Amino acid sequence: MEMKENEIQKIPGNIMQMITYEAFCRFKASRQGKSAMAAYDWKVQEVVAARKYYSGWYHCWAKHITGGQVMDSYYLRIKDLDKIGFHSRESVDTAVYHVIPGKNPDDLKYNLDYINRKEIEALADQFGCIYLFNKCVGRVRGSQCDTIRYDIVIRNGTDAIADSALADNYLIVSVTLPDTVTVIGTGALERSRLLQKVTLSKNLKYIKDAAFRFCWRLQNVDLPDGLLYIGADAFRKCHEFTEMIIPDSVTYIGSKAFFKCVNLKSVKLPAHIAKISLGLFRHCHQLTEIVIPDDVTVIEKDAFAECRSLEKISLPSGLKRIGDGAFANCRKLRFLEIPDSVEYIGEELFGKIKIKRCPTFVASEDNQYVSRYAADHNIRVTDRLS
C-alpha cells in the first residue's frame, strides 16, 4: 500500500501490511532543517526490540495520526529494551509506532497496526513505564510543529529513564520524575534545548553520562540526598545554572560534568569524592570561590581551567596531585595555597598567563618540591598570605 506524503490511511488492526515509502517518514528533523528517517514497527503479541536512532521531533508523527490537532498524547518506553511507542487520544482507534534501527535508512519499511487506548495502557502497565505529556498546547503546522510545548510527567512505577529516551527534543519544557526512578540513562535528555525545569526522584541513585548535556535553558536542579553517581558530561553546557549543591552521598563525578556552565557562581562539593575529574568546571566563567573536600587526593587536568572569575580556592591537606593546566587562565586568582602533601604538579598549571599576573604559591619553606617547581616555572612563592 502506497501512501501520499500528506495523507494517512487507516489499516485495520488484524491486517499487518508492510508499507515501503521513504517520503512518509522524511521530515525536517530540527531547526537546522535536516531530514531524518524513522521506521515504525508493531507486531501482534510481540514487543519488538527497538531503538531510537534518529534525531528528530517526535511530535511530527502526530501530523499523520491526528490531522494536525494534538490534545493529549503518550509515549511508551519499554525499559531496558529502549523502545518507543506513540499514542494519540484523538480517536478511539490509535496508531502506535515503534522505532527500529536499520543499516540503510533509505531502505527502511513501515509496519503499522491500530490498537485502542486500553490496550496500550495495559501494555504500559505490563512493562511499568509510560510517558505522559500532560500539557500540550498548539497545533502541528506542517512538519515544524513550532507552537507545541510539553510538560512531561513520568508515570509512577517507572524505575529508569532509558538511554536517549527524550534526547534531541525541542519542545519539552519540564520533566517530573516519580520517586520510583533510580537511574537516568546516558543521554536521556541531552539536547532538549527548551527544557527549563526538572524535578528529580527522591530515590535517584545514578545520573549517567551526558544525561542533561546541552540543555541550555535548564535552571538549577535540586539533587536528592542518596544520589551516588554523576556521569561525565552530565550537565555540560547547562548555561542557566547559577548554583549547585551536590549531596555528600555522591562519591563520583565524571569528567566535564559541569563543563561550560558559564553562569555557575557557587558549588558545594560532596565530602567523599576522591578526585576532581578532568575539565570538571572548565569554562565556568562566573565561579568565584570553591572549597575542595578533604578526601580529594587528585585534581585532574583542566579541572578549573578558564574559570576567569575564580578568586579563592581551598585545597585539602591530603592532596597529592594537581594535573596539567588545572588552573589555566584563572585571571583573578592571586594566591594558591599548596599543602605539603602535594607530590606532583602538572605543566602549564596557570596556562598562558603572563609571569607578572601569575598567581603566587603559598607553601611551607620546607616544601622542596614546590620550591623547585616554582623556580623552574618562574612562579613566586611565599609562606603566608599578604
In this structure, the chain runs to a length of 386
- Type of residue at 174: S
pLDDT at 68: 32
Q: Are 269 and 289 in contact (CB under 8 A)?
A: no
Q: Would you say 317 and 294 are in contact if contact means Cβ atoms under 8 Å apart?
A: yes
CA distances from 266 to 98, 191, 222, 262 (A): 43, 24, 14, 11
- Rounded CA separation 65/91 (Å): 9
> Cα-Cα-Cα-Cα dihedral of 106, 111, 116, 121, to 10°?
-70
The CATH superfamily holding the domain 219-386 is Ribonuclease Inhibitor (3.80.10.10)
Contact call for residues 303 and 281 (beta carbons, < 8 A): yes
Confirm if 360 and 382 have CB atoms less than 8 A apart.
yes
Three-class SS of residue 314?
strand
pLDDT at residue 310 in the model? 96
Indicate the pLDDT class of residue 150, thresholds 50, 70 and 90.
low
C-alpha cell belonging to residue 191: 539536547
pLDDT at 383: 84
Q: Give the pLDDT score at 40.
A: 29
Stronger pLDDT, 361 or 116, i.e. the higher one:
361
- H-type alpha helices, the chain: 61-66, 117-127, 368-376
pLDDT of 149 reads 57
Residue 293 has pLDDT above 60, yes or no: yes
Report the chain's mean pLDDT, rounded to a whole number.
68
H/E stretch holding 167 reads: none
Summarize the confidence of residues 267-277 as an average pLDDT: 97
pLDDT above 50 (res 385): yes
Q: What per-residue confidence (pLDDT) applies to 258?
A: 98
Q: Which comes out higher in pLDDT, residue 76 or 285? A: 285
DSSP annotation string for 106-127: GG--EEEEEEEHHHHHHHHHHH
pLDDT, residue 362, reads 94
Q: How far is CA 131 from CA 44, 152, 156, 244, 285, in A?
A: 22, 7, 10, 28, 36
| Backbone φ, ψ for residue 365 (5° rounding) | -65, -25
Angstrom CA distances, 105 to 58, 167, 279, stand at 17, 19, 37
Distance of CA 32 to the CA centre of its chain: 20
16's CB contacts (< 8 A; 6+ apart) are: 43, 44, 111, 113
Site of grid cell 536542579: 221
pLDDT of residue 305: 98
d(CA 326, CA 20): 55
> Sign of dihedral through CA atoms 198, 193, 213, 327?
negative
What's the whole-model pTM score?
0.66
What pLDDT, in 10s, does the model give residues 46-98? 222 222 222 222 333 332 333 333 222 223 222 222 223 332 222 212 223 33
Q: For 316-345, what is each residue's pLDDT tens digit? A: 999 999 999 999 999 999 999 999 999 999
pLDDT at position 353 is 85
The Cα 335–Cα 319 span in angstroms is 17
Take residue 90 and report the three cell numbers written for it. 484523538
Nearest to 162 by CA among 37, 43, 76, 259: 76
Task: List the domain boundaries for the chain.
Answer: 1-155, 219-386
Q: What is the pLDDT of residue 162?
A: 75
What percent of the chain lies above the pLDDT cut of 70?
60
